[in-house]
Amino acid sequence: MNKSGISTVTEFILLGFPGPWKIQIILFSMILLIYILTLTGNIAIICAVRWDRRLHTPMYVLLANFSFLEIWYVTCTVPNILVNFLSKTKIISFSGCFTQFYFFFSLGTTECFFLCVMAYDWYLAICRPLHYPSIMTRQLCVILVSLFWLIGFLGHAITIFFISQLPFCGPNITDHFLYDVDPLMALSCAPAPIIKHVFHSVSSLIIITTIWYILGSYALVLRVVLQVPSSVGQQKAFSTCGSHLVVVSVFCGTVAMMYVSPTSGSSVAMHKIITLIYSVVTPVLNLLIYSLRNKDMKVALHQVICGMRIIQPL
């Protein structure tokens, strides 16, 4: 890494989604609607878990933390995306660029780990129901949540720091709506292939490990479900597992396409679509699948929407 060069770039320009003004307004409205739904739904889930004592279990504590994570995951990028739709300059400062870059990847990494622990929780609930209370205790839940937040924010910290130390002498324009590792390093005056390979290697390790762990957990769940004599019970379990796997497949699949499989030959438009799916669309899918398909959660959310706190009889 060439440290002798002094960075002359103090701001970057994100082109976003160039096109006719009408298309810009349509995209702005769609992303704004998704953002509002994501924020509103996840805040309602946190309130429901906080107010309803029936939901004071590890499963719902994990879900509330996941909702808290999703709020910050979309907030670190979507507001800037919306501002760029209405801005003519589309400028982001150097520090703002790397702050967004760090939080986006840290929160995304944390989400991968949360999907793993939620799959583990589901496995315990289905495959080892008698041992579930003694294994998935509140203490273990707190430890797992704290550990995954810590690992998520430390996973890419060193590589992102070194990327931020590269000299950026211009140009400073990127045809994207957020800063990713490849477009950002392409703007550097000095090539740093080792840093880039380390970043992709860490990302690939996290994504592949996450996918295999989740698939393994659900494979064990499905094996137990197939032994259930009731066809109604099987259908319910298959429906829940299938819904969870759809969300995981969409998120992990699109992330893997960007950071595990080579995408250098893909068009810029395809990169934007893939990034838009896992950064904006997937959080609202998580909201629908993990929360609104749960009967207890729907009852609690109804109470929150009606402005009524649930008071459990002692």
- The C-alpha atoms of residue 22 and residue 68 are separated, in whole angstroms, by 34
In this structure, which amino acid lies at residue 65? N
* pLDDT for the residue numbered 2: 43
Give the phi and the psi of residue 137 in degrees, each rounded to 5: -85, 165
pTM for the model stands at: 0.86
- The C-alpha atoms of residue 174 and residue 210 are separated, in whole angstroms, by 30
**Average pLDDT estimate for 92-113:** 91
**Average pLDDT estimate for 83-91:** 85
Two tokens at 245?
């796997």
* pLDDT for the residue numbered 262: 55
Give per-residue pLDDT as tens, 14-45.
888 887 888 889 999 999 999 999 999 899 88
Residue 266: which residues within 8 A CB-CB, separation 6 or more?
A: none
Give per-residue pLDDT as tens, 297-314.
777 777 766 765 444 443
Say if CB 281 and CB 225 are below 8 A apart: no
Domains within the chain, CATH numbers bracketed:
11-305 (1.20.1070.10)
Angle between helices 58-75 and 94-127 (to 10 degrees): 160
Residue 205: which residues within 8 A CB-CB, separation 6 or more?
A: none
Angle between helices 94-127 and 193-225 (to 10 degrees): 20
Q: Is the pLDDT of residue 137 over 80?
A: yes
Give the phi and the psi of residue 301 in degrees, each rounded to 5: -65, -35
Give the phi and the psi of residue 11 in degrees, each rounded to 5: -155, 155
Which residue carries 């004599």 as its tokens? 229
Q: Which band of pLDDT confidence, cut at 50, 70 and 90, is reported for residue 153? A: very high
H-state helical runs in the chain: 21-51, 58-75, 78-86, 94-127, 132-135, 138-154, 157-164, 181-186, 193-225, 231-259, 268-276, 282-290, 295-305
Characterize the bridge pairing of strands 173-174 and 91-93: unpaired
